[in-house]
Amino acid sequence: MTTRRAMLDVLKGEPVFPPPLWMMRQAGRYLPEYREARKKAGGFLDLCYNPDFAVEVTLQPIRRFGFDASILFSDILVVPHALGRDLRFEEGRGPLMTPMSAADVDRLDGSSFHQRLAPVYETVRRLRAELPQETTLIGFCGAPWTLATYMIAGHGTPDQAPARLFAFRHPEAMERLLAVLVDYSAQYLIRQIEAGADVVQIFDSWAGILDEATFEALCVKPVAEIVRRVHAVHPDVPVIAFPRGAGTRYDSYRQKTKVAGLGLDWTVPLSQARQLQAGGAVQGNLDPLRLVAGGRALSEGVSAILDALGKGPLIFNLGHGITPDTPIEHVEAMVRQVRSFSGR
């Protein structure tokens, strides 16, 4: 069993055996105790603002699997919500917002931002008190570009065409939107750290959909600025970024954003991932469907990652969130396999 220290050591670039282990979306519907808690509770968004529920479901996977890290139960879209954009979640449709025009950018209202997010800070405080001392607590936010994709389209899309087109047609409005999101996201992470988060992670789920020029302007630059602002206040708190789909651009992304940890999606080849370890910790990157399938698909996938990356600074994780149809026994098998890795 590794310790809270261990994850922080890995984020400083020091390998730990076995590597610390957690799963994106580990508090979720694949767990019967989560489904049970969810039954008694209200709508998804209400739950993000309900510390009793959020603390309980965040603790569930730690109790069951003893993961090395715990990530706050919440949603990336609470940030635009706290800036006055409407937001609701519909079963089977995901998040729905009123699509945003260029003119709406200047109407974003952060006057009650921290007040609206107070329940999240409360959740973090209670989690730090209730979690085992050895469990690292991860706070998080969405990256400005990924938040912008939902704010502009009003819902998830397969290729983020509305936000890409907005960026091409209204470059100044896009720049102002990202600046507002950078500002409040940095404040949001700082407050989470002050409430007890040991590490913060920035999710940029739609980084991979942009061309070279827009990737630099819309992904790299805003995240670099958030990291700079967080480190200006809390220089020792490591930041992990997950620019999903960044492909060839992962290396320059780390150099430019100065993140300590790089979350790798499952399409990153392990030879590339090993090169990336020269610049610091990597986190990932098992295809979540290997965990659904189990058997050889799972054990071979886990082995390949441990063999390629286990001797360097690695936080073992999935390459994306765990899916609701994942059998618990497969998670148990994965945990056993990772925990049996001695680095030899």
The answer to whether 29 is a known catalytic residue is yes
Residue list 175-234, contact with a copy of itself (CB under 8 A): 208-215
The answer to whether 93 is a known catalytic residue is no
How many residues are present in the chain?
Answer: 344
CB 318 within 8 A of CB 286: yes
Closest separation between CB of residue 127 and a copy of itself, Å? 31
**Nearest residue to 24 (alpha-carbon basis) of 140, 144, 146, 157:** 140
Closest separation between CB of residue 3 and a copy of itself, Å? 30
Q: Does 300 bind a copy of itself (CB under 8 A)?
A: yes
Q: Does 301 bind a copy of itself (CB under 8 A)?
A: yes
**Alpha carbon distance 103, 113 (integer Å):** 20
Of 45 and 297, the one with the shorter C-beta distance to a copy of itself is 297
φ, ψ (nearest 5 deg) of residue 203: -95, 115
**Alpha carbon distance 295, 322 (integer Å):** 17
Say whether 283 sits in a helix, a strand or coil.
strand
Q: How far is CA 327 from the centre of its chain?
A: 22
Q: Does 297 bind a copy of itself (CB under 8 A)?
A: yes
**Alpha carbon distance 160, 237 (integer Å):** 32
Q: Does 47 bind a copy of itself (CB under 8 A)?
A: no
In the stretch 150-179, what mask flags binding to a copy of itself with x, by CB under 8 A?
A: --------x--x--xx--xx-x--------
Q: Does 268 bind a copy of itself (CB under 8 A)?
A: yes
The answer to whether 150 is a known catalytic residue is yes
Amino acid at position 112, single letter: S
Closest separation between CB of residue 289 and a copy of itself, Å? 5
In the stretch 71-110, what mask flags binding to a copy of itself with x, by CB under 8 A?
A: ----------------------------------------
Amino acid at position 215, single letter: F
Q: Give the catalytic positions in this structure.
A: 25, 29, 38, 75, 150
